[in-house]
């Protein structure tokens, strides 16, 4: 079996890791950082950008830059109308009512398609690092993701050409990366990321990782903190200057970027400032945004959202059947846990200081890689026992939900319940599969509908129909309905992929395969242009700052190589760009050596002059 990579497909950033010799190694994105922004952009020239290059151009191309796509995974458009999204692009319903993204040229993309583009980039990077094709993956999801969101994530991996070996809850992955297999302890994982919040309690005994309880909020994260800060900045600017930045097509994205940066800075500083020159214009001329933000102001804006996690911390302990005194460790996961107010709440909720020794941005991907080594058989000292995060059941007479598998049940699991008919001589029974914690069916999430036909006619209440639910280790649901008298049955795999049919997925896979090579070429072209831009900058600076130290021949060689690279950089021939880069690098290296020799000779001459002068003055 080829190696299995672990991927944390995050709301704000994504990360990937591989297990080598039992240890998880984070695979760098190739663009500097160890995490990659979960951003996709479509440029006016028709290019598709992914990662940091997409994020860099967000200010000038806000409508076609897609961020925080994870929050749309497997969701209906009507669900989103109650929420405020801190995004600049358009979200619309498709013909099935699912939330999709619309870009400037009118094209629409499902969240799975956008996510698959991020996954494809990570797959390409992993293959570069390993030197072999990567096909298998353990992908993580928030523990509180429902069935549809999990299947949508799996569909995104499939479109990207990745075979999902396991869908793993993020807190479980974090525990795997943090806790030694031989330890015996109860731990809580407080996972507060860019778009989701989870809290899980696990018990670790002799390599067996058992999730005791989990809960959370899939629509709460650092993005919401950013949105509050953006609104405050814009309101303050409007109050002071009388200008509403929300009406400008570009200004809001500049404010979002500044707000995110300010949020990060306020985790370590008590005050920060925002300076955005030429943010707007008035009759008097350009208007600049300049203001200071204190940690107190920021904490006041986010206090209610942070406090909303406190009752969930209490609830997860109750569901696990333990108290805070039984916990040995509380682990922080996700970028939002860097905020001092969040850390203070965790300490108050669990009456102990949380652990800061793990990198909250990388620990989930590392745990996914370790889970991959378990799946592949490389590690036999670990066993993962996860739980289902939400109750699953069926609709009964009167629109009431009848639970079959309760939340926090250990996986894999199979449960059955006996039902009967509601009217006389009923020969068909409709099975409506639901997921959620509400008593009424309409308040829960509909997963699937199917019919069991061929029931013998009988008075209502007489037939016996057994409905069985089976959930595998990935949290994927299988349903079976059987007539106890006739033996007739109907079964199905609940396969809600967030609005995409099997044919849709197959078509997207074909498109992805066809564009994979061109996508890689585009990525390589962009990377070479970035290298070229840096070399051009350094060479230009060398000419300007060292003109008095360059002889005519060296200067001409440098200007010629620089001109050659500028010409190649504007083209699309990667080989020509690489050749020009190499040539300019050699010329710059030669010129530096010449200048160093000149500097050395000058120092010697200067030293001789001083020594001679000293002797003449009788100092020696």
Confidence class for position 494, pLDDT limits 50, 70, 90: low
In what side-by-side order are the strands of the sheet with 329-333? 329-333, 185-192, 197-205, 208-217, 383-385
Tell me the per-residue pLDDT of 175-197, one tens digit each, with 9 for 90 and over: 888 876 556 789 999 999 998 99
Measured CA to CA, the distance from residue 89 to residue 67 in angstroms comes to 9
Q: What is the DSSP string of 254-288?
A: HHHHHHHHHHHHTTT-SEEEEEEEEEEEETTEEEE
Active-site hit among 64, 113, 170, 483? 170
Tell me the per-residue pLDDT of 248-307, one tens digit each, with 9 for 90 and over: 988 999 999 999 999 999 999 999 999 999 999 988 889 999 999 999 999 999 999 999
Asked about 541 being catalytic, the answer comes back as no
- Please state whether 408 falls in left (phi above 0), alpha (psi between -120 and 50) or beta: left
Which positions ≥6 away from 292 have C-beta within 8 Å?
Answer: 271, 272, 273, 274
Confidence class for position 339, pLDDT limits 50, 70, 90: very high
Q: Give me the pLDDT at residue 180, please.
A: 66
Confidence class for position 224, pLDDT limits 50, 70, 90: very high
Q: Give me the pLDDT at residue 207, please.
A: 82
Pairing mode of beta strands 465-471, 477-483: antiparallel
Q: Per-residue pLDDT for 616 more than 50?
A: no
Q: Give me the pLDDT at residue 181, please.
A: 56
DSSP state of 112: H
Confidence class for position 46, pLDDT limits 50, 70, 90: confident
CB contact at 8 A, 134 and 3: yes
Measured CA to CA, the distance from residue 444 to residue 440 in angstroms comes to 7
Measured CA to CA, the distance from residue 451 to residue 432 in angstroms comes to 9
User: For residue 41, which of 119, 100, 104, 93 has the smallest C-alpha distance?
Assistant: 104
For residue 594, count CB atoms less than 10 angstroms from its CB and return exposed for 0-12, middle for 13-18, buried for 19 or more.
middle
Strand-pair partners of 101: 91, 109
- Between 262 and 82, name the one with better pLDDT: 262
Q: Per-residue pLDDT for 64 more than 50?
A: yes
CB contact at 8 A, 328 and 292: no
Confidence class for position 121, pLDDT limits 50, 70, 90: very high
- Please state whether 442 falls in left (phi above 0), alpha (psi between -120 and 50) or beta: alpha
Measured CA to CA, the distance from residue 347 to residue 355 in angstroms comes to 10
Q: Per-residue pLDDT for 153 more than 60?
A: yes
Asked about 102 being catalytic, the answer comes back as no
Measured CA to CA, the distance from residue 563 to residue 560 in angstroms comes to 5
Asked about 483 being catalytic, the answer comes back as no
Mean pLDDT along residues 81-87: 69
> Residue 324, SS3?
helix
DSSP state of 318: H
Mean pLDDT along residues 66-94: 85
Active-site hit among 70, 154, 165, 407? 70
Q: Give me the pLDDT at residue 615, please.
A: 45
Asked about 235 being catalytic, the answer comes back as no
User: For residue 198, which of 185, 206, 188 has the smallest C-alpha distance?
Assistant: 188
Q: Give me the pLDDT at residue 455, please.
A: 83
Q: Per-residue pLDDT for 231 more than 90?
A: yes
Q: Per-residue pLDDT for 617 more than 70?
A: no
Please give the share of the chain, as a percent, with pLDDT higher than 90: 47
Q: Per-residue pLDDT for 495 more than 80?
A: no
Active-site hit among 8, 147, 362, 386? 8
Euclidean distance between the first and the last CA atom of the chain, given in angstroms as a whole number: 78
Q: Per-residue pLDDT for 618 more than 50?
A: no
Confidence class for position 496, pLDDT limits 50, 70, 90: low
Active-site hit among 98, 113, 147, 191? 191
Please give the share of the chain, as a percent, with pLDDT higher than 70: 90
**pTM beyond 0.75, yes or no:** yes
CB atoms within 10 A of CB 469: 23
Which range, of 266-280, 290-304, 514-528, 568-582, averages the lowest pLDDT? 514-528
Q: From residue 359, how far is each of 4, 11, 15 by CA, in Å?
A: 22, 17, 12
């Amino acid at each position: 079996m080829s190696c299995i990579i672990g991927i944390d497909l995050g709301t704000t950033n994504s990360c990937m890791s591989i297990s080598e010799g039992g240890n998880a190694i984070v695979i760098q994105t190739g663009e500097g950082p160890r995490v990659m922004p979960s951003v996709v952009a479509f440029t006016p020239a028709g290019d598709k950008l992914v990662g940091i290059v997409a994020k860099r151009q967000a200010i000038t191309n806000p409508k076609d830059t897609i961020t925080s796509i994870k929050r749309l995974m497997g969701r209906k458009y009507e669900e989103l109308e109650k929420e405020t999204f801190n995004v600049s692009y358009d979200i619309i319903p498709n013909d099935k009512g699912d939330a999709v993204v619309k870009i400037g040229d009118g094209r629409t993309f499902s969240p799975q398609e956008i996510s698959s583009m991020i996954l494809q980039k990570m797959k390409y990077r992993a293959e570069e690092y390993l030197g072999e094709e990567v096909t298998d993956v353990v992908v993580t999801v928030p523990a509180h993701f429902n069935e549809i969101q999990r299947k949508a994530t799996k569909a995104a991996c499939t479109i990207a050409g990745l075979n999902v070996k396991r869908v793993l809850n993020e807190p479980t992955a974090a525990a795997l990366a943090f806790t030694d297999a031989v330890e015996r302890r109860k731990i809580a994982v407080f996972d507060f990321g860019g778009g989701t919040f989870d809290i899980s309690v696990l018990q670790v005994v002799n390599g067996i990782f058992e999730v005791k309880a989990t809960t959370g909020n899939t629509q709460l994260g650092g993005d919401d903190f950013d949105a509050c800060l953006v609104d405050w900045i814009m309101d303050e600017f409007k109050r002071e200057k009388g200008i509403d930045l929300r009406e400008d097509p570009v200004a809001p994205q500049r404010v979002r970027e500044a707000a995110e940066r300010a949020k990060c800075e306020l985790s370590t500083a008590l005050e920060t400032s925002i300076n955005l020159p030429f943010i707007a214009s008035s009759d008097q001329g350009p208007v600049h945004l300049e203001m200071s933000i204190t940690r107190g102001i920021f904490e006041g804006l986010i206090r209610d959202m942070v406090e909303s996690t406190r009752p969930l911390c209490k609830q997860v302990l109750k569901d696990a059947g333990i108290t805070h005194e039984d916990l040995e460790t509380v682990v922080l996961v996700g970028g939002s846990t860097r905020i001092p107010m969040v850390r203070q709440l965790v300490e108050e909720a669990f009456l102990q200081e949380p652990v800061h020794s793990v990198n909250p941005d990388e620990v989930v991907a590392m745990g996914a890689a370790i889970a991959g080594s378990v799946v592949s058989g490389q590690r036999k000292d670990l066993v993962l026992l996860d739980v289902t995060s939400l109750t699953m059941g069926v609709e009964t007479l009167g629109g009431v939900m009848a639970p079959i598998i309760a939340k926090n049940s250990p996986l894999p699991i199979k449960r059955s319940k006996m039902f009967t008919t509601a009217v006389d001589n009923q020969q068909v029974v409709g099975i409506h599969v639901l997921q959620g914690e509400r008593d009424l069916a309409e308040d829960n999430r509909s997963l699937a509908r199917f019919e069991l036909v061929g029931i013998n006619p009988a008075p209502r209440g007489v037939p016996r129909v057994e409905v069985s639910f089976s959930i595998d280790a990935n949290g994927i649901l299988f349903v079976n309905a059987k007539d106890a008298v006739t033996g007739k049955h109907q079964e199905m795999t609940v396969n809600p992929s967030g609005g995409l049919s099997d044919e849709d997925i197959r078509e997207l896979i074909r498109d992805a395969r066809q564009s994979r090579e061109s996508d890689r070429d585009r990525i390589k072209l962009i990377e070479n242009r970035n290298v070229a831009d840096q070399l051009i900058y350094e060479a230009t600076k060398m000419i300007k700052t060292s003109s008095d130290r360059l002889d005519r021949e060296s200067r001409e060689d440098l200007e010629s190589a620089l001109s050659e690279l500028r010409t190649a950089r504007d083209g699309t021939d990667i080989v020509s760009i690489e050749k020009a880069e190499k040539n300019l690098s050699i010329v710059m290296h030669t010129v530096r050596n010449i200048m160093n020799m000149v500097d050395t000779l000058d120092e010697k001459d200067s030293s001789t002059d001083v020594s001679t002068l000293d002797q003449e003055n009788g100092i020696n």
